[in-house]
Structure 1
Amino acid sequence: MEGRWNLDDLYTSFDSPEFKDDMAKLDQKVKEINSWAKDKLKKDSNPQKILEEYIAQYTSIYSLAVKLMNFGNLSLSTDAKNQKAANAIEKLQMKMTELTSATVTFKQWLGSLDNLDEILDSTEKLKEHKFYFQELDLQNKHTLSKEKEEVIAKMKNTGSSAWSKLQNNLTSTLTVEIEEDGEKKKYPLPVVRNMAFSKDQDFRKKAYKAELKSYEKIEESSAAALNAIKGEVITVSKMRGFKSPLEETLIQSRMDQETLDAMLQAIEESLPIFHKYYKKKGELLGHKKGVPFYDMFAPVGSVETTFSYKEAQEFILEQFDTFSSKLAEFAKHAFDNNWLDIEPREGKRGGAFCSNLHPIKQSRILSNFTGSLSDVGTLAHELGHGYHGQCLYQESMLNASYPMPLAETASIFCETIVSNAVLKEASDKEAIGILEGSISQSGQVIADIYSRYYFESKLFEKRKESSLSVDELKEIMLEAQRKAYGDGLDHDYLHPYMWVCKPHYYSAGRSFYNFPYSFGLLFSLGIYAQYLEEGEAFVEKYDKLLSVTGKNTIADVAAMVGIDVRSVDFWRSSLNIIAKDIDKFLELVE
């Protein structure tokens, strides 16, 4: 039916012969590659042949794992009680840890080659995968013995992964008590956090206070989880020879410190303009000391435009076509072939995401569409992710994995196409609401992400010495918010528990799950500015850029369109686009 996706091109069910056969095949292929790594790497002296065999074997395993895992995750995302999906995911996670032996053995063998670059230039197939193998060689420098890596992989299941699951369970089952009409009512935490967007200021304040009060029930458990996860990261990162968890994250992100420093410098310089916006928003809502946290997301202005799903499709296709027919054709194909699940319903997860399915050269997009203008922007955003995947399907699967900072490039670009079109047609009254919503979102990605980066930096620094108490964690968070928001926020009403409700802090595999968002927004804005300058001539460059994001460093990808991400001026120019929007908003509300 329209509004729900079709997963049949993956599998028809968890009981289907195809799904069961592929689970069995994955088992067999994992055993085969472990046996191959154990025997072949010792006996065969032809490195060229070994490298090409590895490509074939690992691509085959990766393809199967992506299909199986995505079928499980996609099924669970629309039906939280799907026990078969949950069981399949857990089995797959265990199966993938069994790959550790082969991958570690292979990396160590790769690191033993003295003439790797020469070998990689010897055949077309190896040239195609040169960056992939060079990255594996770099990883080998931070890889421990096979035995230690196997222990770490298995221990994570009862260590950081278990703590992460606990924290997810704590926040997803936490109920918040709010008094309404003289009666106390209980709500899930996500519902209460969404009350920040209510039109009723008294209700927003009441929800904020109730939310903070509710965290007292889980603060000690959350602190234990956070300390355990960050402690594990520090220990393992040090064992692997990284200078810090940040260095490890930058290497994983194919990004250098110079780029991060340039971006952070520009962000720090831009914070006063965001403070100006927040102070004005506070004034509009009747506050004299900046905006209190409970009013940060309060609606300002009036946006009454609504869309049916069909109208949203037509509008998106029309706007995408102004950029390129290829982008519009991709979106139409996605709509026509039920690649989207947009209907809100019980058991379906909130928010939105896109899963690119390289083995079947398709995508699946989840959103919770209610017809608002924001929902249309969300659809455009997720279709941008899908288009990024489409541009990568011509590449080998091993060359299709891009780093987090580049993950938002196409999505924000597509959202910008649509939001700019909406703004052009809006009345002054609606323009205020549209602009304010956009600036508020940018404020989260710039000012709030800056506070999260600062908090996590301090957390790692202090966790090296000892575990942190709840009071210490709260104080660091308040310090981070004061630093990021300045006098834009009322310091009597901050959010000391932001470390509890943000799941990003509770991933051992993704430390500093914050600055990539800032990078994504600002890089996309810079790319969009280039498009406005060059027009149609830019379209081919854009598609090419997306197609190589899986086999280049971030600096090299950016250089393809003439951008120097190590230059503070580039980041300033992107932030200036947001500054102009803030100036326009301030002008409209005067």
Structure 2
Amino acid sequence: MSEKMPAWDLNDLYPGMDSPELKKDIAAVSAGALKFETRYKGKLAESSPDEFGNSIEEYEKLDETLSRLYAYSYLLHSTNLNDPKISTFYQNIREKSNDVSNKMLFFELELNTMSEEQVQEKMVSPKAKNYEPWIKNVRAARDHMLSEDLEKMLHEKYVVGAAAWNRLFEETMASLRFNIGGKMVTEPEATNIISFSPDAKTRHEAGAEVDRVMKKNMPIFSLITNTLAKDKQIEDEWRGYKRPVSARNIENQVEDEVVDALVDTVVANHPDVSHRFYKMKADWLGVDKLEYWDRNAPIPGLPEKQYSWEDAKNIVLSAYNEFSPEMAKIGKKFFDNNWIDVAPKEGKMGGAYAHPTVPSAHPYLMLNFMGKADDVMALAHELGHGVHQYLARSQGILKSHTPITLAETASIFGEMVTFQYMLKHEKDPKQRFALLAEKTGSMLNSTVRQIAFHRFETKVHTERREQGEVAPERLDKIWTEVQSDALGPAVKNDERSSSSWATIPHLIRTPFYVYGYAFGDCLVNSLYSVHQEGKVEDFPKKYLEMLSKGGSERHQQMLKPFGLDASKPDFWQKGMNVIKGFVDQLEVLTDELGMNKNKAKQADNKQAAPVQSGMVKKVTGLKSR
């Protein structure tokens, strides 16, 4: 796209890699951590309530400085992966942060060795009481903490262990080039062609090229995956986690049983939701079966809308404003102050993300905007994160962190209000059909597809633990099996797309993160239904209040004002019923608008059949004579 799009301004964090401000913070946090260790190590349990509160406050200030340094280096690196100087700076900051945080490691360890009675005695101090939600979150994993020496060893090793393998993955992906139509493109650009090119031949060429390049590099992706899975296994076994997903569930403040119920519900809905949708998609495209690469393809006969950056910005802000002027006001700050990096470029990380940075600054958003409807939704999604992170700053850095189960609620809710706004203001019946089809496909990507990712990594990690290293061919086979189960018989899943798992960064960077998208999507479906029913007074105000709580409450307390409870067995089915309702609507509209190309072909064949039959009889009669 030739349109000029904003690049973020990181000066609110630091003026530059060599700036005096950055060097001053490195020196200050290094000295501060040493003083903190000297002052409090071995003394936490015996400290007075006020001293206990002061110690947490000092810990938080050090953590904020460390987080500012890391956030700056990460943001800079993620948009310049091919720059050796920036990569070196990023690695140096990680190592320095690791050294400093190692001196502070004792604090959470001592906090976890205190008895519940000792902790409660400290809560008489208002300052300590303020941090009670954070203390509970830290102590949730106390049964899985190791000795201080082991914790220090794992902490020090991380930067040359899992973190190094993650960096290798990111820089390898950024360096790959794909030859599509004689043009060398990056992975995000190739993915965009696969998803949005109106030409089936181009999509299939792009899909084949991505598969070829990924398979060519499969030894390195397989090695990264197996090494990280083994690394996680070792740590999980030392910590006493029984299942690969358990550590993530504790971090997400959600019970294993709740996640299991979510997964089981989504899988049970495959036949009635995703399988039906992709059968319809095949009918829209006029094929018996969809190629794997055609899952997100534009619908033939519907002119695809192209959105300028200004269009996308105005749509999302208008949608936010219609729901809550306050939410739109916060969202506007990201555009007015260059807190967002939009355009794709060589060496930039693929996908999109929102980074909270630190409460004393503000969040930043990264996109790879290509002008499609999906990119408008990506903006709505990440801005939802941004608004959430901005509001949660008031909690301070220790209490502002929100587990994915609620973090993705804000982002997906942002998508939902934007979708409803676009649907409301679109008058063309076929464009409304296109919007509904796009949204339904997106919701399936957030639920069915993400749970398929979750099932893939569960199988891979389990097999790695039980049988040893998982061969590349086996990784491909597991992927094909779970995708076939999720997408159904109307989608071709075979060796031509079996390497796609290696393009999913979350499977490498953040194991067992992906189920949070399905958690958030189903939760938002229920939450938005409550909003539409109008049974909750001041819903927008209560919604923003929920976001402002950050990680200070668990999902049970957060959802109580809306009459929702994720621990109830039927909760997840309610969320899936919303998607099923969209599929039902699409089936009706498909007939009303004549969108079924396969049905049209059959009708044409029936009309032609009598003529064909008569010709055959006539020829046969001549021959017999």
Q: Same fold (TM over 0.5)?
A: yes
Task: Indicate the SS of the match to 2:395.
Answer: coil
Equivalent in the alignment of 2:188 = 190
| 1:97-496 map, 5 Å | 97-98=98-99, 99-104=101-106, 106-177=108-179, 180=181, 186-196=184-194, 197-272=196-271, 273-288=273-288, 290-300=289-299, 302=302, 304-426=304-426, 427-465=428-466, 466-492=468-494, 495-496=497-498
User: For the residues of structure 2 that align with 1:409 and 1:372, how far apart are their CA atoms?
Assistant: 23
Q: CA deviation at 1:201?
A: 0.8
Measure the CA separation in 2 of the matches of 1:365 and 1:329: 16
Q: Which amino acid aligns with 1:102?
A: M
Amino acid at match of 1:271: H
CA 1:39 to 1:580, structure 2 compared with 1: closer, same or farther past 3 Å? Answer: closer
5 Å-filtered alignment, 1:491-570, equals 491-492=493-494, 495-507=497-509, 510-534=510-534, 537-570=538-571
SS in 1 for 2:331: helix
Which residue in the other structure is 2:596 paired with? none
Structure 1 gap ranges (5+): none
Distance 1:490 1:305, change over 3 A: closer
Structure 2 spans left out of the alignment, 5+ residues: 592-625
Separation in structure 2 between the aligned mates of residue 574 and residue 188 of structure 1, nearest angstrom: 36
Distance in 2, Cα, partners of 1:163 & 1:373 = 34
Q: Are 1:22 and 2:21 matched, yes or no?
A: no
Does residue 4 of structure 1 match 2:24?
no
Residue 504 of structure 1 contacts residue 513 of structure 1 at CA under 8 Å; is this kept in 2?
yes
TM-score, normalized by length of structure 1? 0.91
CA displacement at 1:498 relative to structure 2:
2.6
Q: Which amino acid aligns with 2:154?
A: I
Contact kept? 1:6, 1:339, Cα under 8 Å:
yes
Match of 1:31 in 2: 34
Q: Deviations over 1:233-273 (max 9, x none)?
A: 11111101111221111111100022112212321232112
* Contact kept? 1:9, 1:360, Cα under 8 Å: no
Separation (CA, whole Å) in 1 of partners of 2:412 and 2:470: 37
| RMSD of equivalent CA atoms | 2.5
Question: Which residue identity does 1:455 align to in structure 2?
Answer: F
- Contact 2:193/2:203 (CA < 8 Å) preserved in 1? yes
By how many angstroms is 1:518 displaced? 0.6
User: After the TM superposition, which of the residue ranges 544-553 and 402-411 deviates more from structure 2?
Assistant: 544-553
In structure 2, the CA distance between the partners of 1:81 and 1:294, relative to structure 1 (3 Å rule), is: closer
Counterparts in 2 of 1:124 and 1:484: CA distance versus 1, 3 Å: same
Q: What is the distance in 2 between the residues matched to 1:417 and 1:203? A: 33
User: Matches of 1:165 and 1:443 in 2, distance apart?
Assistant: 30
Question: How far apart are residue 538 of structure 1 and its match?
Answer: 0.9
Q: Give, in whole Å, the separation in 2 of the partners of 1:82 and 1:538.
A: 47
Q: How far is 1:31 from its partner?
A: 1.9
Give the CA deviation at 1:205. Answer: 1.7
In the TM superposition, residue 540 of structure 1 has moved relative to its aligned partner by 2.3
1:491 Cα offset (Å): 4.1
For 2:420 and 2:69, how far apart are their aligned partners in 1? 38
Bigger CA drift: 344-353 or 391-400? 344-353
Q: Offset at 1:298? A: 1.1
Deviations, residues 357-383 of structure 1 (Å, cap 9, x unaligned): 433352222224454433333322222
Which structure's CA Rg is the greater one? 2
Alpha-carbon contact 1:300-1:432 (below 8 Å) kept: no
Q: Deviations over 1:269-309 (max 9, x none)?
A: 32112101101111222321x32202112111535544444
Partners of 1:432 and 1:493 in 2: CA distance: 33
* Counterpart amino acid of residue 34 in structure 2: K
2: CA distance between counterparts of 1:244 and 1:122?
Answer: 38
Deviations 1:48-104 (A, max 9, x none): 244213212211112112222222222333444555543332222112323235324
Pair 38,540 (structure 1): closer, same or farther in 2 beyond 3 Å: same
Give the stretch that moved more between structures: 315-324 or 365-374: 365-374
User: 1:445-498 CA distances to partner (integer Å, 9 max, x unpaired)?
Assistant: 222222212211211221113111122212211221122222232245763213
Kept in 2: contact 1:263–1:568 (CA 8 A): no
CA shift in 2, pair 1:492/1:144, >3 Å: closer
> Greater shift after overlay, 1-10 or 448-457?
1-10
Q: Rate the CA distance shift 1:59–1:2 in 2: closer, same or farther, 3 A.
A: same
Aligned partners of 1:230, 1:345: CA distance in 2, in Å? 31
Name the CA shift for 1:135/1:315 in 2 (closer, same or farther; >3 Å): closer
Structure 1 contact 142–242 (Cα < 8 Å) conserved: yes
Cα pair distance change 1:175/1:393, threshold 3 Å: closer
- Structure 1 residues 350 and 257: CA distance shift in structure 2, 3 A: closer
Moved more, 218-227 or 274-283: 218-227
Deviation of 1:348 after TM superposition, in Å, equals: 4.0
Deviations along 1:486-543, one digit per CA (max 9) or x if unpaired, are 2232245763213322122223xx3212211111111122211111122662122212
Q: How far apart are the structure 2 equivalents of 1:439 and 1:411?
A: 16
Shift of the 83–265 alpha-carbon distance from structure 1 to 2, 3 Å rule, reads: same
* Cα contact 1:4–1:338 (8 A) shared by 2: yes
Write the distance in 2 (CA, Å) between the matches of 1:375 and 1:500: 22
Q: For the structure 1 residues 375 and 195, does the alpha-carbon distance in structure 2 shift closer, same or farther, using more than 3 Å as the test?
A: closer
The residue number in structure 2 matching 1:53 is: 54
- Decide whether the 8 Å contact of 1:67 with 1:359 is kept in 2: no
Letter of the 2:577 counterpart = N
1:85/1:131 CA distance change after superposition, 3 Å: same
Contact 2:50 2:128 in 1 (8 A): no
Alpha-carbon separation, structure 1, partners of 2:445 and 2:370: 23
Give the aligned length.
581
Q: Report runs of 4+ in structure 1 exceeding 6 Å deviation.
A: none
SS in 2 for 1:11: coil
| Secondary structure of the structure 2 residue equivalent to 1:362 | coil
CA 1:452–1:435 in structure 2 vs 1: closer, same or farther (change >3 Å)? same
Shift of 1:177: 4.5
Between 402-411 and 354-363, the greater mean CA deviation after superposition: 354-363
SS in 2 for 1:487: coil
Percent identical across equivalent pairs?
26
